[in-house]
Structure 1
């Protein structure tokens, strides 16, 4: 529809593009927002996801456009499990999640052309089975952990480790579709 503003996705994640396509949303442009994603001192996982998604939406130069940004953070208690920098760090993350529950928080922010910001925060709870050393090493050998929050991809081989999931599956992949659609509908970009 020509009367709606351009939609810019402030993310380099191919998974977010795939998820948006599932609900018929194709951004007009993809322009990753570059900013420091380091947690602040004593910052909790939920707050980090909220802060980063809003900061990414605000940081992008896209006059007259809607800017959609998201950030996914995996937390085990107060501990933030980011994207592992090495195989050893990914092994440590998997060990922390083995046999217990963890939370996946995704902050979603939509900056409207007038500069106002709509936000959502979605939390899903995931429980992994107790992982054997062989399972961990086979998963690390797959390379699937690279570039993934928490060091795993639920939409891939790691799904076989999930014994329990409460909440949005698409949130764990990287973008909660229900809440994203709500934000887009709320500003008239997505029609029912």
Structure 2
């Protein structure tokens, strides 16, 4: 029986929640993800997380989790690649630099709307044009913010990470677990404690 409504189509978020034994009813919501004029990246991901959780709450009696992740380089949000050229352009810009990954998470439930935002700094080694082109051909970058997935083949490009690995994948588990427990959603620890 589901404990949580996940207002996201992201298979990575579902995998992360499954890893802490949270059974989800997956109900993606359709919201406009266009940044507002002058909106900074942190406000942007937090707003989208809130909007997703609140949209999901209109059709679910369960607590609802919404989340959004943005790759940010020099204050600019790098979204999902539009095409091959855009992906290679983003990988070139991220090559041999440190960028930020911001992930907002919001959970609506009995305690109202609870939220958190996590910033992780990720350093990529120099990526050659040949490597970037080969990576695009794998199909992996197509639906990834910034055009790369840290949990996949692009892990070989990551030389250093400062912060939450799971947040870069799509959901900061430490902060998410705290929000879920405050909303009464049982995690693996809660389930095991109840049995013993």
Do the two structures share a fold, i.e. TM-score over 0.5?
A: yes
Give the structure-2-normalised TM-score.
0.91
Matched, 1:12 2:31: no
How many residue pairs match? The answer is: 187
Tell me the C-alpha RMSD between the 2 structures.
Answer: 1.5
Shift of 1:6: 4.5
Alignment of 1:128-167 (within 5 A): 128-167=124-163
Q: Give the Cα separation in 2 of the matches to 1:62 and 1:178.
A: 27
State the match for 1:188 in structure 2.
Answer: 184
Give yes or no for contact 1:66–1:111 (8 Å, CA) kept in 2: yes
Q: Gapped runs of 5+ residues in structure 2?
A: none
Q: Which whole-Å deviations, capped at 9, do the CAs of 1:63-95 have from their partners, x for residues lacking one?
A: 432001100011002110011111111111111
Deviation at 1:62, TM superposition (A): 2.7
CA distance, structure 2, for counterparts of residue 57 and residue 21 of structure 1: 18
2:65 paired with 1:68:
yes
User: TM-score if structure 1 supplies the norm length?
Assistant: 0.93
> Structure 1 stretches of 5 or more lacking a match?
none
What aligned pairs does 1:1-192 form with structure 2 within 5 A after superposition? Answer: 6-27=3-24, 29-60=25-56, 61-113=58-110, 116-190=112-186, 191=190
| Structure with the higher fraction of residues in helix conformation | 2
Runs of 4+ residues deviating >6 angstroms? none
SS at match of 1:124: strand
* Counterpart-to-counterpart distance in 2, 1:178 and 1:44: 24
What is the CA-CA distance between 1:113 and the residue it aligns to?
4.3
Pairwise CA distance, 1:187: 2.0
Displacement of 1:133:
1.1
Whether the aligned pair in 2 keeps the contact of 1:12 and 1:30 (CA below 8 Å) is yes
Q: Give the Cα–Cα distance (whole angstroms) in 2 for the partners of residues 140 and 6 of structure 1.
A: 37
Check the 8 A contact 2:50/2:66 in 1, yes or no: yes
Q: Is residue 7–residue 65 contact of structure 2 (8 Å, CA) maintained in 1?
A: yes
